[in-house]
Amino acid sequence: MFKELDPLLHSQLRLAVMSLLLSVEEADFVFLREKTGATAGNLSVQLDKLNEAGYIKVRKYIDGKRPRTVCKITKAGVDAFDAYVKVLQSYIKK
Amino acid sequence: MENNINEQESLRIISEMISTARGNMKKGAGKHFLLWGYLIFLASIAHFVLINFTASRGEGIGLIWLGVTAFGILISVIMGIRDYRDPGVVTYIGSISLRIWAGFMVCLVAIMILLRGEAGWYTYPAITFIYTYALYISTALYKIRWMYISVAVCVVCLLLYNTVSFSYYPLLMALVMLVGNILPGHYLNYKAKVQGNV
């Protein structure tokens, strides 16, 4: 029996965002958009989903006149990512 | 963009994104290296010229060093505040490197206070000693192989302190800054520019 892959992570953009955030301490919206090649609207929606699940922490603030969004992976996010990779490995080994 | 990927694609995305983030150099990655490199390089050359080509025996050089250090710290703090406001990305490497060099700065100030007066000349080898150690760790962090040559040059300079006269100490310090800060600083900025992070 194979465990099911976490549906929240098993999505191209959300997985890309989580992989990026796992490798850095924190990253802003522009960095994530550039590296994933996603549109601002789509990225914003996916970030909200990850934030609601508690996988990432989103800090929003105004710098002068510019709104900034900075994201950081949480402990729950790291654990979920770890579990996702383990399930993925079991699928590949089958 | 929803669940439309298979296991192989998942692995490809994970591996691609992790390597992208790890190799990422932030815009101006070498600015702190350059700031301190040029400041100390110029101050060392000034000290060398002062004691070797003028009638001065280096009086007041302690104040110049204190001024250079205070100026460097002030500019570093301003750069740090700007970085905090404009984060882009904070990498683990950048964050650890910042802590290493902040620790080095504390040691540097402590050495300047402890070795003032008659023992002042030993400031150069003492600082070079701690500097070489910090540079070695930074080199391992950034994984820039050629910087090990810089570390080796610093070790040679450390040994040379034992054989040359005091008046050549500032010249050795200038060389240490050239290979340890200025060249790597320009290289880090170049790497960020190549990656398009400018």
Q: What is the Cα–Cα distance from B84 to B185, expressed in whole angstroms?
A: 20
Task: Supply A27's token pair.
Answer: 């990253």
Parse chain B into domains and list their residue ranges: 26-182
Q: Helix (H, G, I), strand (E, B), or coil: what is residue A70?
A: strand
**What type of residue is B169?**
Y
CA B36/CA B176 separation, integer angstroms: 12
A 53-82: CB under 8 A from B = 63, 68, 70
- Cβ contacts from A onto B, under 8 A: 86
Please write the tens of the pLDDT for every residue from A20-66. 999 899 999 998 998 899 999 999 999 999 999 999 999 998 877 78
pLDDT band, very low/low/confident/very high, at B81 (cuts 50, 70, 90): confident
Per-residue confidence (pLDDT) for residue A71, from 0 to 100:
95
Judged by CB atoms closer than 8 Å, whether chains meet at A27 and B85 is answered as: no
CATH numbers and ranges of domains, chain A: 12-93 (1.10.10.10)
Strands in A66-73's sheet, in edge-to-edge order, are: A56-63, A66-73, A24-28, B89-91
Whether the predicted pLDDT of B50 surpasses 60: yes
Residue B40's contacts (CB-CB under 8 Å, 6 or more residues apart) are B68, B72, B173, B174, B177, B181
- pLDDT one-digit tens code per residue, A8-20: 999 999 999 999 9
Q: Which two tokens stand for residue A29?
A: 């919206």
In percent, the amount of chain B with pLDDT more than 90 equals 43
Alpha-carbon radius of gyration of chain A? 14
Averaged pLDDT of chain B: 86
CA of A12 vs chain B CAs: smallest distance (Å): 6
Cα-Cα end-to-end distance for chain B: 29
Q: Quick check: B198 pLDDT over 50?
A: no
Q: CA dist B92 to A26, B23, B63, Å?
A: 9, 11, 36
Q: What is the distance in angstroms between the Cα of B78 and the nearest Cα belonging to chain A?
A: 16
Task: Say if A16 is an interface residue toward chain B (CB within 8 Å).
Answer: yes
Please give the structure tokens belonging to residue A22.
């796992």
pLDDT digits (tens, 9 = 90+) for B118-175: 777 888 999 999 999 999 999 998 888 999 999 999 999 999 999 999 889 999 999 9
Q: Which residue of B has its CA nearest to A9?
A: B3
The two structure tokens encoding residue A38: 């996603």
DSSP labels, A9-64: TSSHHHHHHHHHHHHEEEEEHHHHHHHHT--HHHHHHHHHHHHHTTSEEEEEEEET
Which residues partner with A24 through β-bridges? Answer: B91
Q: What single letter denotes the amino acid at residue A82?
A: D
Contacts of B106 (CB under 8 A, 6+ apart): none
